[in-house]
Each structure stands twice: as C-alpha cells, then as structure tokens.
C-alpha cells in the first residue's frame, strides 16, 4: 500500500491531485488483485487504470508544453514506454503468465521512479520558472 504524504507534492495542484488519485487507484487494485486476476476479459478496474494513465499523461504533457519545458519529448517517450509496459502487464496477467502481484510491483515502481523522480524534474522546472499562473 502506498500512503500519500506531503513529500510527494510537486507544487502543481492539478498534477498533485492526479498523483494522489493514482495512489488510491493502485491501493484499490492491490486490495482486489486476486479477484481481478480471475476476471474474464478486461477487469473494469484495470480499464480505469488504462484510462487514468492516458488522461494523466496528456495532462502532464499539456502542462509541460505550456511552460516550454525543454525535455518534453524525452518525457513523452517515458510516457509511451509506460503505456506499452502497462498493456503488456495486463496482457500477461490475463493470460496467467505472471502472478497477480506482478502488476502491483510494476505500479509501485512506476509511482516511485516515474511519479516521484521524473515528474519532480519538470515540476521543479515549472515552479522555478514561476510560469504556474500563466500556464493555466
Ligand atoms: Fe510523467
């Protein structure tokens, strides 16, 4: 379980709300993962995760583009890699190729590595630049 705390804040309100929602979603999936793994076809909760990821990445890319973040293309590549990895994980889970906890490990490391480290880079650029008010 990931417990949300203020160390995770980036300083960009809409991104922080979305990241917080992401931790709730991971925790909900973790709680229900054994029954999710038994679902025929796409589990509704995993569908929510896919939609969340696409929506959230687009939000971040819009924030970065509006602020003129120079590493936007690199960050976009990280996002498309994560979407691909997520689709692979879900496919492996649905084909019984991995233990259900495999996807939880992936989501937790996504949160720790991508959300906290990579997103911290663009967020501190934007906060430092002081473009917050003008970017929205
Ligand atoms: Fe990101």
pLDDT, one tens digit per residue, over 72-81 is: 999 999 999 9
Report pLDDT for 105.
Answer: 95
C-alpha 76 – ligand 1 centre gap (Å):
8
pLDDT of residue 136: 46
Estimate the crossing angle of helix 119-129 against helix 44-66, to 10 degrees: 30
For residue 120, how far is its CA from the centre of ligand 1 (angstroms)?
9
Q: How far is the CA of 31 from the centre of ligand 1 (A)?
A: 25
Give ∠ CA 36-4-81 in degrees, rounded to 5.
60
Burial class (CB in 10 A: 0-12, 13-18, 19+), 132: middle
- Using DSSP's 3-state secondary structure scheme, residue 96 falls into coil
At 34 the pLDDT is 86
Q: What is the pTM of this model?
A: 0.89
CA dist., res. 75 & res. 123, Å (int): 12
Residuewise pLDDT in 10s, the chain (136 residues): 899 999 999 999 999 999 999 999 999 999 999 888 777 778 899 999 999 999 999 999 999 999 999 999 999 999 999 999 999 999 999 888 999 999 999 999 999 999 989 999 999 999 988 866 554 4
What is the Å distance from ligand 1's center to 46 Cα? 19
Q: How far is the CA of 40 from the centre of ligand 1 (A)?
A: 31
Q: Does domain 6-135 have CATH number 3.40.50.9100?
A: no
What digits encode the pLDDT tens for the residues 116-128? 899 999 999 999 8
Phi, psi of 98 (to 5 degrees): -135, 160
Q: How far does residue 48's CA lie from ligand 1's centre (Å)? A: 18
Cα 52 to Cα 29: distance, rounded to the nearest angstrom? 13
Q: Would you report the helix, strand and coil content of the chain in percent, each value rounded to 5?
A: 80, 0, 20
């Amino acid at each position: 379980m990931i417990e949300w705390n203020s160390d995770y804040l980036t300083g960009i309100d809409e991104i922080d709300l979305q990241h917080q929602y992401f931790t709730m979603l991971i925790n909900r999936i973790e709680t229900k993962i054994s029954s999710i793994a038994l679902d025929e076809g796409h589990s509704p909760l995993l569908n929510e995760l896919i939609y969340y990821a696409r929506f959230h990445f687009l939000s971040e890319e819009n924030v970065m583009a509006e602020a003129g973040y120079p590493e936007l293309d690199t960050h976009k590549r990280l996002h498309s890699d994560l979407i691909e990895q997520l689709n692979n994980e879900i496919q492996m889970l649905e084909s019984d190729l991995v233990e259900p906890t495999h996807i939880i490990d992936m989501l937790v490391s996504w949160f720790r590595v991508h959300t906290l480290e990579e997103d911290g880079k663009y967020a501190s650029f934007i906060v430092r630049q002081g473009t917050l008010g003008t970017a929205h």
